[in-house]
Structure 1
Amino acid sequence: MKFDSIAIVGAGALGSYYGARLALAGANVRFLLRGDLAHVRSHGLTLREKDATRHLDHVAGFATAAEIGPVDLVIVTLKTTANASLPVLLPPLIGSRTAVITLQNGLGNEELIASIVGTERVLGGLCYIGVTREAPGELVGYHTPGRMTLGELNRPAGERVHAVAGLFSGVGVHTRVLDRLAEARWQKLIWNVPFNGLAVARGGLTTDRLLAEPVIAAEVRPLMDEVAAAARHFGYDVSESFIQSQIDVTPTMGAYAPSSLVDFLAGREVEVEAIWGEPLRRAQAAGLAMPRLAALYRELLTASQRS
């Protein structure tokens, strides 16, 4: 299976980075751009990575989805805080064979997209990468090209998701395809819920400072255990060794600022609902008590309103 045309919806750091890597490898990539449109059209995209600096001179940038038109693959990299725009952005991109993959954080994104374009089109991916946009058209990679876990919504992996995996592995991304995408989403929350959340709620702490404070560090494992208990209730595998690995790996990151902290410090809206609100609602609907997550969710709502 081949994707002759690709649209990037949400050409921030993540979308611009992956779109540029794909375009540099010869893919026909069309970028939906907003504020950076004129600059990127004139100057292209620059990727500054540890191994090399890469430049995409000619960027197919567009102001609207209607200008892009139907494509074979839509890659959604919007922040989930902008998901209300998807009913407008996605339909002009959909043709008879279009697949849509969301690389967004948290829970509920695949289901939302399915309500717009149909369940049969929807794929999902989890990204493990460090890349930031430091200026218009300027992307700096700290942990690139990263890793990606891919799957399909509510069905085992098929030919299409393996084709998407091949697309990304072709530009150096280590890809893994799973039959249970939802399980991987819950597993990623094991780290994201405590570390992204406490980094913001405790006053803007990088992970090294968070772990250096015994009182704050003591909050991490109980939050992980609550998320793990909910995941297991829904039939997903979260082993004790997996939880411990998420704790053990964090000191190796150094003074790492999780994505939610980066957004918070920049005055952007934090993805509170997708990462904390949606798992809490699903657990509570199933009759599960998650008092620590509920308290953290309330704190993050308050902090977000102040930012």
Structure 2
Amino acid sequence: MYLLCIPLPLLVVNPPVALKPRLRWADQLEYLPQTANKLAMEEVLTLGLGGVGAVYSLALDLSKQARITTVCRSNYQVVKDNGLTIHSDSFGKFEPWRPHKVVSSTSSPEATETEYSYILVTTKALPEATPSTADILRPVVSKNTTIVLLQNGVGIEDPISAAFPENPIISCSVYLSSSQFSSGVITQTALERVVIGGFDNGVVNSMLLKNRVARFAELLRVSGANVAVNDDIQMERWKKLLWNASYNTYCTVTMMDTLTFCETVPNATELIRTCMNEVLAVSNALGHSIPPETVENLIKFTMGNGKYKPSMLLDRERGSQMEVEVLLGNPTRIAKEHGVPTPILNSLYGILSAENWKLRQG
């Protein structure tokens, strides 16, 4: 799976906020950072072992502080029998790399016998799919589980938080050039960066959330991953959406790579700029301070980096469902709630929703 290869440069409707309980000093001990105990072994479950899931599962394994169980679907038998071949510019070559355990389903006895500290969700964000991500996670989430979302889009935390209100959620904005062109073979080149932050739903204790974020960041850093912590992780999501809601969607509608789109479509740059400015306006309405020059920086970067096929275009070419709701549906609904006009985003949402419907019909 491709996630946007761009260096930096929903209204998140929370449940009514209840007063967070004051903790006795002794009770706070469980929320202390675990950095002092370098030998602590975290049980980690990864849902989805494509490009993103494989690379970050490998990174956590390299920390020597995490034991990895992976849930595989299409590549289950290959990974179980032979492991993964991973060629990573960031973490090295592994022929093969094997997780501690490979399971085919979260409901399998092999998956449910372990209590997980972290569950990584690296599948495509498709809130309309059945079963839902929350339903898939339910058999393996315990009271001590932190759920980590390494997915595109905005508003993706809400359904998970609604299903598991007492579990910490870490939201991640991933910038990674990684792909699985054949079953069991993962290639990651050049760019690798992940920005992480806690999702505050008003229920989870803030000290617990902060320390679960810190511990996860530590596990990644030990392996050499390029990780940053941002308390305003939603701003990071909207910043990434500037590119995903414009280039990703226009290239998918036209079935063109970025360079071909920019060179052949009349007023292509103005179309992109207008679309990005709509996203920026919605983000501003939510109080996220994205520098306005980010728009021009992204346009300049994209035009100077040759041919690139965005993730949504690749999905359409494969006949797979596209992440239309989290990249366009949620932003347009938020815009409507805040009185922000988004005619370009609305049009793209309608067109690509129709295309998704056709893909579902086969």
Same fold (TM over 0.5): yes
Partner of 2:132: 85
Query: Identity of paired residues, percent?
Result: 25
Answer yes or no: is 1:54 the counterpart of 2:94: yes
Q: Distance in 1 between matches of 2:41 and 2:284?
A: 36
Equivalent position amino acid for 1:20 in 2? L
Match of 2:152 in 1: 105
| CA displacement 1:183-232 (0-9 Å, x = unmatched) | 11111111111011001011x11111122134333210000001101111
Q: Which residue of 1 aligns with 2:258?
A: 207
Partner of 2:225: 173
CA contact (8 A) 1:200 1:303 kept: no
1:8 and 2:46 are equivalent in the alignment: yes
Q: Which residue of 1 aligns with 2:84?
A: 45
Separation in structure 2 between the aligned mates of residue 234 and residue 279 of structure 1, nearest angstrom: 11
Distance 2:357 2:87 in 1: 34
The alpha-carbon deviation at position 174 of structure 1 amounts to 1.2
Name which of 36, 52, 58 aligns with 1:20.
Answer: 58
Higher helix share: 1
RMSD between aligned residues:
1.9
Gap runs ≥5 in structure 2: 1-33, 35-39
Contact between 1:119 and 1:153, CA under 8 Å: does it hold in 2?
no
CA distance in 2, matches of 1:84, 1:237: 36
Alpha-carbon deviation of 1:260?
0.9
SS of 2:235's equivalent? helix
* Contact 2:117–2:144, Cα closer than 8 Å, also in 1: yes
Amino acid at match of 1:165: A
SS at match of 1:28: strand
CA contact (8 A) 2:242 2:276 kept: yes
Residue 131 of structure 1 deviates from its aligned partner by 0.7
Q: Please give the per-residue CA displacement for 1:120-164, whole angstroms capped at 9, x wherever unaligned.
A: 4111001000111111111111335x0001011127771211211
Name the SS for the 2:224 alignment partner: coil
User: How far apart are the structure 2 equivalents of 1:120 and 1:95?
Assistant: 8
Deviations 1:1-42 (Å, cap 9, x if unpaired)? 255100001222211222133224433000011121111111
For residues 178 and 294 of structure 1, the distance between their equivalents in structure 2, rounded to whole angstroms, comes to 30
Question: Which amino acid in structure 1 is aligned with residue 198 of structure 2?
Answer: E
Whole-angstrom distance in 2 between the partners of 1:95 and 1:176:
27
Instruction: With the length of structure 2 as denominator, give the TM-score of the two structures.
Output: 0.79
Contact kept in structure 2, 1:80 and 1:105, CA below 8 Å: yes
1:292 lines up with 2:344 in the alignment = yes
Give the distance between the partners of 1:154 and 1:111, measured in 2 at CA: 10
SS at match of 2:267: helix
270, 274, 279: which one pairs with 2:326? 274
TM-score of the two chains, using structure 1 as the length reference? 0.93
Question: How far has the Cα of 1:95 moved from its partner?
Answer: 2.4
Q: Counterpart of 2:106?
A: 65
Give aligned pairs, total.
305
User: d(CA) in 2 for partners of 1:3 and 1:211?
Assistant: 49
**Letter in structure 1 aligned against 2:275:** L
Deviations along 1:94-125, one digit per CA (max 9) or x if unpaired, are 22321111011101211111111115411100
Structure possessing the higher relative contact order (Cα contacts under 8 Å, 6 or more residues apart): 2
Letter paired with 2:132: S
Distance 1:109 1:210 in 2: 29
Which residue does the alignment assign to 2:71?
32
Alignment of 1:149 with 2:195, yes or no, is yes
Amino acid at match of 1:152: G
Pick one of 285, 306, 311 that aligns with 1:259: 311
Deviations along 1:37-78, one digit per CA (max 9) or x if unpaired, are 111111101112347422344331101213312200001111
**One-letter code aligned to 1:189:** L
